[in-house]
Amino acid sequence: MTAVRRAVNIGILAMATLLIIRSDALAHGVGVRGTQTLYVANEGSDTVSVMDVGSMKVTSTIAVGSGPQHVAISPDRRYAFVACSRSAEVWILALPTHAATIVPNATGPGGQTVFGSGATYAYVTNSLYSRVTVIETATGKKVAMIPVGEAPTTIGISSDGSRAYVPSERSSTVAALNLSLNVVAAELPVGVRPYAVEISPDGKFLLVSSADSDTVTLIETATQKPLRRIPVGDDPHHVVFGPGGAFAYVINRGSDNLSVIQMANHQVVATIPVGKEPSDADITPSGHYIYVTNTGGGDVTVISTRTSTVVGTIPVGTHPHNIVISGDGRYAFVANNGSDDISVINLLSQETVGRVPVGKRPLGMALW
């Protein structure tokens, strides 16, 4: 009877967890991310696949520059910026016509695009020239090339659009940019080989992951001074803030786990095991669940931010890399770099409901 009772209790707990996830997904309104169309950068075939979310079918394939890795949709939903690593071009696709404007010598391997306040300008990391390329969004005109440290990676922009922060892997610094003047206002020291930068929701702090020192540097934005380096797991990369910014979650690729940082005391308060070689993460619009792709395991780990525990594991394709959750919280899309397709996860049922073939080595994705 004890074994039977235990099994019943486990079943009830699993059902309760699923019902919580279902109600959480249904409660979301449409966020800043779209729900209609998914744009996928296919690094190996030099194309962008356009997938209709409703039918889960690719409706068109757009030839772009060589080695597209990243796609970003402008906040006004008028443009898609595609960073092409090998040709060093940024392709600007007008939406929904896909008429293209090409900006040469604007990016490099790992290049990423973010948009400033009002989406007037786009800022693109350019690892080939150790610059940030500033592009006028509507015209595609290159208006500035801001020198930063060697091999810039990601960009974080303040909520008021006045400042940007750019880590540089080989310089072990973060460049603080004054965007009204397009100049570097300060160089901030961080750990060895910084990769990701995230700004806290209240705008008071930066968190910068450093892959070779296994730390996250905490920087106060008002003074632009590093406050401390927080030890985390091996090879930390992406950082995701939870709801309200009370906690931050750090993906540790080398130790197959997530470090949970409590922002009130700036300390790691939990370590959550995930799958093999975690690569990317996204958070539901409510902030209640984080989905982590595991490149080495071919699955996605589901984490509750309320309990800091794993509540599910979902099989996907081969070598899953990037993940993006729709603005209504109903679907997650996973780019399977090894099987050349997109896994579609229904967040209501917590199951993969489709595998959509795209181009070779899909990587970056964005929803329109």
| CATH (domain of 134) | 2.130.10.10
pLDDT band at 1 (very low <50, low <70, confident <90, very high): very low
Count of CB atoms situated within 10 Å of the CB of 149: 20
pLDDT value at position 199? 96
What mean pLDDT do residues 43-49 have? 98
281 domain-assigned: no
147 domain-assigned: yes
350 domain-assigned: no
pLDDT value at position 35? 73
Q: What is the mean pLDDT of the chain?
A: 90
pLDDT value at position 111? 94
195 domain-assigned: no
Lowest mean pLDDT segment, chosen from 26-35, 95-104, 252-261, 298-307: 26-35
86 domain-assigned: yes
Count of CB atoms situated within 10 Å of the CB of 232: 25
CA of 205: how far to CAs of 229, 283, 325, in Å? Answer: 13, 20, 25
User: Higher-confidence residue: 301 or 24?
Assistant: 301
CA atoms within 13 A on the CB side of 280: 19
pLDDT digits (tens, 9 = 90+) for 197-244: 999 999 999 999 999 999 999 999 999 999 999 999 999 999 999 888
Kindly tell me if the per-residue pLDDT of 25 is higher than 80: no
Kindly tell me if the per-residue pLDDT of 258 is higher than 70: yes
pLDDT value at position 159? 85
Q: Which of 366, 285, 356 is nearest to 323 (CA)?
A: 366
360 domain-assigned: no
pLDDT value at position 18? 39
Rounded percentage of the chain residues whose pLDDT exceeds 70: 91
pLDDT band at 34 (very low <50, low <70, confident <90, very high): low
pLDDT value at position 162? 92
Range of the domain at 138: 64-189
Kindly tell me if the per-residue pLDDT of 16 is higher than 50: no
Q: How many helices (H) and strands (E) does the chain have?
A: 1, 32
pTM, entire model: 0.90
Instruction: In whole angstroms, give the CA distance from residue 240 to residue 264.
Output: 16
Hey, is 280 helix, strand or coil? strand
pLDDT value at position 243? 82
Instruction: In whole angstroms, give the CA distance from residue 86 to residue 94.
Output: 22
Kindly tell me if the per-residue pLDDT of 291 is higher than 90: yes
What is the Cα 90 distance to its own chain's centre?
A: 19
82 domain-assigned: yes
Hey, is 225 helix, strand or coil? strand
Hey, is 5 helix, strand or coil? helix
pLDDT band at 171 (very low <50, low <70, confident <90, very high): very high
Count of CB atoms situated within 10 Å of the CB of 114: 18
pLDDT value at position 27? 32
Domain count, the chain: 1
CA atoms within 13 A on the CB side of 250: 36
Q: Which residues of 2-21 are buried (b: 16+ CB within 10 A; e: fewer)?
A: eeeeeeeeeeeeeeebeeeb
- Cis check for the bond before 362: say yes or no (omega within 30 of 0): no
117 domain-assigned: yes
Is the sign of the CA dihedral 82, 321, 332, 33 positive or negative?
Answer: negative
